[in-house]
Structure 1
């Protein structure tokens, strides 16, 4: 278990909040916190949004905390699932076809 996961679980368990952290509610919380992060960029240029790094860090941390909690609930190893996804993305986005492109993988052969 990572140090971050241990600290998250300790914080949660000290407050007896495990009972509220089922997968459905964690998925909802991830979405809500991601939207709070997104709201910091609404009607602003990226540069303007980055003028308040503390708020950005707080909202990003909330997304990550809930994501870590969901992975822990499901018995997923964070490093392992990220590695697996990067392997899949490497296949979907080969460098020769995707380098410098913003197209989705299913649009890369259209040129």
Structure 2
């Protein structure tokens, strides 16, 4: 996945629809949270086994919600001036230091 390409494509959609005015860091964080809640809703009331064996329609729906979350986070990083590759690498390195002991 090329994050620069994703960012450019999302900016093109944003700009074609005049959405930049709504893409403040606050709004993008809230939008990502709403999409996360929609993902959680797919798993609500399922057993552990059921959550690992979603039917094809629910699996596709989960994929759509994951995509929404990632794309909002890409936009949020852009608005905050964060390099998503770098923040993810940094967090992974931090987790490796903390949990690979």
TM-score (structure 1 length as normaliser): 0.79
> 1:12 aligned to 11, 14, 18, which one?
14
Kindly name which structure, 1 or 2, has the bigger radius of gyration based on alpha carbons: 1
- Superposed, 1:11-50 pairs within 5 Å as 11-44=13-46, 45-49=50-54
RMSD value, Cα: 1.4
Superposition deviation, residue 43 in structure 1:
1.3
For 1:38, what is the secondary structure of its paired residue? helix
Paired residues of 1:37 and 1:60 also in contact (CA < 8 A)? yes
Match in the other structure for 1:53: 59
Q: Within 2, Cα distance between the matches of 1:47 and 1:89? A: 25
Task: Give a deviation string over 1:28-87, Cα, whole Å, max 9, x none.
Answer: 111110010010011122134353222111111110111100000011111111111011
1:25-104 residue pairs with structure 2 within 5 A?
A: 25-44=27-46, 45-49=50-54, 51=56, 52-94=58-100, 97=101
More helix by share: 2
Q: Return the structure number with greater relative CO, CA threshold 8 A, min gap 6.
A: 2
The alignment's TM-score, normalised by the length of structure 2, stands at: 0.86
Give the gaps of 5 or more residues in structure 1: 98-111
